[in-house]
Structure 1
Amino acid sequence: MGKLTTHVLDTAHGRPGANIKVELFALTGDTRRAIKTTLTNDDGRCDSPLLEGAELGTGEYELVFHAGDYFAALGVKVPEPRFVDRVVLRFGIADAASHYHVPLLVSPWAYSTYRGS
């Protein structure tokens, strides 16, 4: 059974990114359809898969992480506008029976991602 999961690591402070708003969208051409909005838990993960089983289909998706709000809530002093604010990750799912894990490593100045396991 396929599923989509994520987690956030705060590389500036060396800890999980807790309480970060995450939005998931399905993309069809230039159209974005909102699927889910959630918050990361104390471990930087979502409490359940973002999509699972029949909900997960092949196609293009977008995750939006509200990283700037997270760092602001921690009291991190950054100039306005923020260099890293909302991190948008657009990716494709080619095999809906597989596990797609999309982690985010983020600081106020940089971010990266990869297909995890």
Structure 2
Amino acid sequence: MSGYLSTHVLDTARGCPAQDLLIALYKVSGNSHRKLLEMRTNADGRTDTPILPQETFKTGTYELVFFAGDYLRATGQAGEDPMFLDQIPIRFGMSEADAHYHVPLLLSPYAYSTYRGS
């Protein structure tokens, strides 16, 4: 297999990459979640390496959990507790063994968006 998974987080409220945001990746099977790893975004809002590099990439259903609340608190955007957005789970499937899957997150304190990027 030569596919891989990457992400990118942009803080749309501040107009910049979301640096030092914690992301967890889970493998999903039915109602079971198995945590594979945790990574933080760098100054460009990306992880230093692919979330799933070619060596460990497998097709299937996955979930990325973006710890937006911690990031929003650290950047002074949190508002009152309970926060509107805290942990943001994005569940997605990867069916193409040789594809690059890119799952970006566009984030603000009261909204987020994602898509299959390139």
Q: TM-score range by the shorter chain?
A: over 0.9
Aligned residue for 2:59?
58
5+ residue gaps, structure 1: none
| 1:57 shift after superposition | 1.2
Aligned residue for 1:35?
36
Contact 2:28 2:63 in 1 (8 A): yes
Matched position secondary structure for 2:117: coil
Q: Deviations over 1:18-51 (max 9, x none)?
A: 0000000000111101111010000000000011
Using structure 1 for the length normalisation, give the TM-score: 0.96
Q: Deviations over 1:64-117 (max 9, x none)?
A: 001111010112241211101111000000112100000000001000000000
Percentage identity across aligned positions?
50
Q: Distance in 1 between matches of 2:112 and 2:49?
A: 23
Counterpart residue type for residue 34 of structure 2: R
Q: Distance in 2 between matches of 1:61 and 1:84?
A: 21
5+ residue gaps, structure 2: none
Q: Distance in 1 between matches of 2:102 and 2:15?
A: 20
Using structure 2 for the length normalisation, give the TM-score: 0.96
Aligned residue for 1:90?
91
Aligned residue for 1:18?
19
CA RMSD between the two structures? 0.9
Q: Are residues 1:44 and 2:51 paired?
A: no
| 1:54 shift after superposition | 4.0
Q: Are residues 1:102 and 2:103 paired?
A: yes
